[in-house]
Each structure stands twice: as structure tokens, then as C-alpha cells.
């Protein structure tokens, strides 16, 4: 019984770390622009400005919408963590933890889609006007840490699910 209690504590700790990583993945910028173009792109929002005008992107709007809808998996993960912490049967938590697997795949796919869209954006650094040529500051693109965050999510999710299944088997054996 002490082993099962220790396992529950470990499961709660891993769940909290995974939830934190999921929130970070949603809110951390994929890329930040500065120079002639300024703004950022993350999975939940984006703002890119060129010549003071906001640059629209249907693809990035789609990425933001799907990311927000799929974030329901975070709420389910929070519920699973609460069930584990309350000492309820682990089989209940398992059902609420499973959506985190496709959620991570969806986030990875949306990140690749956003990066593909970002790479297609082209802007002129020089504009010829009747008053002469306007040269904008060079564009600086800083890529975020999305790949690292998503890799850490997977590294945490696999042992979390394995320990959860182990706990379910231990509970079944003790009855």
C-alpha cells in the first residue's frame, strides 16, 4: 500500500510537469520577428506587422483555432491529476489521460504547419517611392523552443502512462 501511495505522488508530480509543458507549448512563441517586420507567432495567437499594417493569415488563424479547441486535453489532464490526488481508482484517471497522446501529435503537426506558413511569407526590404527608396532594417527571425518543449512532453508522457498502467495493475492485484 505504501508503494501505491508513493506511485500516486509520483504520478501527480509527473502530471503537473506535463500540464505545465502543454501550457508552455500553447503559449510560447514559435517565432518572433523584429526589424522591418515585427510580431510573433504562437500556437494560440499571432501578430505580424509590415509597414504598420497587420498581416492576415488564414492558415495561422486555423492553427490558432485548432490549438485552442484541442487544449481540452489539458483540462482532462488536470481532471486526471485531481482524481489521482484524491485517491480514486487509477483506471478513472487513465481514461482522462489518454487524450494527451493525440494532443501532443496535434501540437507537433500545428507547429510544422505554422512554420511552413511562416516560411512562405515574403516581404520587400526596399520600397521605391516618388520621394526615393526606403530601406527597412534587416529582418531578424528568432525561433522559439517549441521542438524542445514538445520533446520534453513526450519524454514525460511515456513514463506517466507506463506508471499509470502499473498503478492500475497494482490496484487490481490488491483487491
Query: Which tens digit of pLDDT belongs to each residue from 76-130?
Result: 999 999 999 998 889 888 888 888 888 888 988 999 999 999 888 766 677 777 8
What is d(CA 163, CA 142) in angstroms, rounded to the nearest whole number?
37
What is d(CA 166, CA 171) in angstroms, rounded to the nearest whole number?
9
pLDDT value for 62: 95
pLDDT value for 126: 75
pLDDT value for 133: 82
pTM: 0.80
What is d(CA 71, CA 163) in angstroms, rounded to the nearest whole number?
23
pLDDT at 139 over 80: no
**Tens-place pLDDT, residues 41-60:** 999 999 999 878 898 999 99
pLDDT value for 121: 76
Phi, psi torsion values for 46, nearest 5 degrees: -155, 145
pLDDT at 61 over 90: yes
pLDDT at 161 over 80: yes
> Up-side HSE of residue 87: CA atoms within 13 Å toward CB?
3
Nearest Cα to 25, choosing from 161, 163, 156, 120?
156
Question: What number is the average pLDDT over the span 68-80?
Answer: 91
Domain ranges of the chain: 2-28+61-137+145-174
pLDDT value for 140: 78
Amino acid at each position: 500500500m505504501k508503494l501505491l501511495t508513493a506511485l500516486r505522488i509520483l504520478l501527480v508530480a509527473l502530471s503537473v510537469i506535463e500540464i505545465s509543458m502543454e501550457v508552455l507549448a500553447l503559449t510560447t512563441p514559435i517565432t518572433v520577428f523584429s526589424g522591418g517586420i515585427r510580431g510573433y507567432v504562437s500556437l494560440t495567437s499571432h501578430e505580424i506587422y509590415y509597414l504598420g499594417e497587420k498581416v492576415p493569415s488564414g492558415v495561422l488563424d486555423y492553427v490558432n483555432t485548432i490549438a485552442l479547441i484541442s487544449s481540452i486535453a489539458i483540462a482532462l489532464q488536470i481532471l486526471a491529476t485531481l482524481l489521482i490526488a484524491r485517491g480514486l481508482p487509477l483506471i478513472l484517471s487513465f481514461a482522462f489521460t489518454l487524450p494527451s497522446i493525440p494532443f501532443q501529435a496535434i501540437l507537433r503537426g500545428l507547429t510544422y504547419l505554422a512554420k511552413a506558413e511562416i516560411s512562405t511569407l515574403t516581404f520587400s526590404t526596399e520600397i521605391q517611392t516618388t520621394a526615393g527608396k526606403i530601406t527597412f532594417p534587416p529582418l531578424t527571425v528568432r525561433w522559439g523552443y517549441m521542438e524542445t518543449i514538445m520533446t520534453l512532453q513526450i519524454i514525460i508522457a511515456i513514463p506517466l502512462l507506463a506508471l499509470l498502467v502499473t498503478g492500475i495493475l497494482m490496484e487490481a492485484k490488491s483487491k
